[in-house]
């Protein structure tokens, strides 16, 4: 059955990459959440998509230039200003704490393709071990050097190669870099890639799948998972397909 992963949480209805968005995804019945991590000046794992704070918070400048004690006081409500309670940038540790209350899978995207963030891989792996979440996490990145480093440090963890351009036989590429999965942009996916990946034991989870027609197609193809801003819509389609 195709698993439904909530992209940056249920980001269609709540501020992306916030606890509110992850809680909404879990309440909607999503199988997994996807989130992005950046590293602060003092080495904390902050859950935020952009290298800069400007788009999603009331702060400015690079995450890497802020200390966690200041960053954690910012507002991350951006396009949901009507939210009455304060909604801040969570740390990865806070999200892991919340995951104790449920069984959701967490796809951690290392946002280390613009800044390499030395030490980020070690910190993420240490936290996963601390919470015993080895079976509940997937580490993805557009930085495939980083993924191979994660594999060297922790071969038991699943890594997933993110990519946005057409790759030739991506399941072979995944095998070569010892990734257990590919996370392709939906624009690059076709029937052969889904079938061959699954046949070779490579999980395939396209992003960002917000069109109902594409969701239905991936579910009918038996794709491993899909990553969407609207897990409620995707779950309704999955229910309707499975009912037939």
Strand partners, 139: 108, 159
How many residues line the site for Ca ion (CB under 5 A)?
Answer: 2
Phi, psi of 114 (to 5 degrees): -90, -50
Site residues for ligand G3P, 35-94, by CB under 6 A, read: 36, 49
The verdict on 34 binding ligand G3P (CB under 6 A) reads yes
The verdict on 26 binding Ca ion (CB under 5 A) reads no
Q: Is 64 exposed, middle or buried (0-12, 13-18, 19+ CB in 10 A)?
A: middle
The verdict on 31 binding ligand G3P (CB under 6 A) reads no
The verdict on 227 binding ligand G3P (CB under 6 A) reads yes
Q: Which residues contact 38 (CB under 8 A, 6 or more apart)?
A: 45, 46, 48, 50, 51, 63, 64, 111, 115, 117
Phi-psi category of 188—alpha, beta or left, where left has phi over 0 and alpha has psi -120 to 50? alpha
Residue 227 interaction partner, one of ligand G3P, Ca ion, none, beta carbon < 5-8 Å per kind: ligand G3P
Residue 146 interaction partner, one of ligand G3P, Ca ion, none, beta carbon < 5-8 Å per kind: none
The residue (of 148 and 210) whose beta carbon lies closer to ligand G3P is 210
Token couple for 17? 């990459």
Contact with ligand G3P (CB under 6 A): which of 147, 162, 202, 223? Answer: 162
Active site residues: 7, 49
The verdict on 202 binding ligand G3P (CB under 6 A) reads no
The verdict on 16 binding Ca ion (CB under 5 A) reads no
The verdict on 229 binding Ca ion (CB under 5 A) reads no
CA-to-CA distance for 32 and 242, rounded, in angstroms?
19
The verdict on 144 binding ligand G3P (CB under 6 A) reads no
The verdict on 22 binding ligand G3P (CB under 6 A) reads no
The dihedral built from the CA positions of residue 115, 119, 125 and 126, taken in this order, carries a sign that is negative
The dihedral built from the CA positions of residue 52, 7, 106 and 81, taken in this order, carries a sign that is positive
Contact assessment for residue 134 and residue 157, using Cβ atoms and an 8 Å cutoff: yes
Interaction mask 94-133, ligand G3P, x per CB under 6 A: ---------------x------------------------
List interacting residues with ligand G3P (CB under 6 A): 7, 34, 36, 49, 109, 140, 162, 183, 207-208, 227
Residues of the shown chain interacting with Ca ion in the complex, contacts defined by CB under 5 A? 36, 109
């Amino acid at each position: 059955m195709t698993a439904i992963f909530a992209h940056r949480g249920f980001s269609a209805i709540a501020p992306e990459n916030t606890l509110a968005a992850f809680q909404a995804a879990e309440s909607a019945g999503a199988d997994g959440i996807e989130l992005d991590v950046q590293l602060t000046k003092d080495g904390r794992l902050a859950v935020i998509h952009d290298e800069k704070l400007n788009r999603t918070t009331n702060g400015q400048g690079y995450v890497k230039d802020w200390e966690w004690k200041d960053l954690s006081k910012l507002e991350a409500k951006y396009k949901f200003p009507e939210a009455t309670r304060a909604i801040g940038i969570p740390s990865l540790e806070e999200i892991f704490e919340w995951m104790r209350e449920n069984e959701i899978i967490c796809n951690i995207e290392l946002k280390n393709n613009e800044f390499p963030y030395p030490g980020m891989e070690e910190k993420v792996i240490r936290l996963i071990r601390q919470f015993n979440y080895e079976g509940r996490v997937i580490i993805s990145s557009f930085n495939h050097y980083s993924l191979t480093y994660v594999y060297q440090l922790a071969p038991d963890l699943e890594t997933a190669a993110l990519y946005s351009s057409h790759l030739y036989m991506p399941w072979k590429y995944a095998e070569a870099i010892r990734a257990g999965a590919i996370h392709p942009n939906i624009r690059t996916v076709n029937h052969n890639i889904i079938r061959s990946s699954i046949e070779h034991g490579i999980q395939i989870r396209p992003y960002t799948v917000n069109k109902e027609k594409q969701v239905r197609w991936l579910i009918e193809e038996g794709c491993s998972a899909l990553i969407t801003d609207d897990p409620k819509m995707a779950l309704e389609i999955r229910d309707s397909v499975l009912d037939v």
